[in-house]
């Protein structure tokens, strides 16, 4: 489990909205940038999100977060939304012993 150096760092300015969507992330600007790690969102706001991942991440890491979505006008085709974000905290999810980490990120 990671300790949160700054207890205020996980507080978001915007309202949180629950979400349970598949996303993926890669480590930005590293040799592993092409390796996508699948995960699921827990909640999000205009300034950040929380997601669950099997990957243990460290505060300060920069991620490229990707979400595939079907555009409404083009059934059967997918487009990809991407966002850059900084890991603010990462904690082992002790609620369900799933082995997942809950990760909080702030969007750039």
Q: What is the CATH number of the domain that holds 39?
A: 2.40.10.220
Res 6: pLDDT: 46
Res 71: pLDDT: 62
Res 77: pLDDT: 66
Res 50: pLDDT: 96
When divided into structural domains, the chain yields a total of 1
Tokens of 103: 């990760």
Asked if the structure places residue 5 within a domain, the reply is: no
Tokens of 35: 């390796």
Beta bridge partners of 65: 25, 83
Range of the domain at 55: 18-107
- Return per-residue pLDDT of the chain as tens, 108 residues: 334 444 444 466 678 888 889 999 999 987 766 789 999 999 999 999 999 999 999 999 999 999 876 566 666 666 778 999 999 999 999 888 888 999 999 999
Ranges of beta strands (E only) in the chain are 17-18, 22-27, 37-44, 48-53, 62-69, 79-92, 101-107
Res 1: pLDDT: 37
| Distance in Å from the first CA to the final CA of the chain | 25
- Whether 39 and 87 have beta carbons less than 8 Å apart is answered as no
Asked if the structure places residue 11 within a domain, the reply is: no
Res 78: pLDDT: 66
């Amino acid at each position: 489990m990671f300790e949160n150096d700054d207890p205020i760092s996980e507080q978001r300015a915007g309202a949180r909205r629950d979400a349970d969507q598949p996303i993926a992330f890669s480590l930005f600007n590293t040799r592993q940038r092409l390796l996508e790690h699948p995960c699921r969102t827990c909640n999000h706001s205009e300034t950040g999100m929380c997601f669950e991942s099997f990957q243990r991440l460290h505060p300060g890491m920069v991620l490229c977060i990707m979400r595939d979505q079907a555009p409404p006008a083009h059934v059967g085709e997918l487009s990809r939304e991407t966002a850059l974000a900084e890991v603010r905290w990462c904690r082992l999810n002790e609620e369900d012993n799933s082995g997942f980490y809950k990760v909080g990120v702030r969007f750039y």
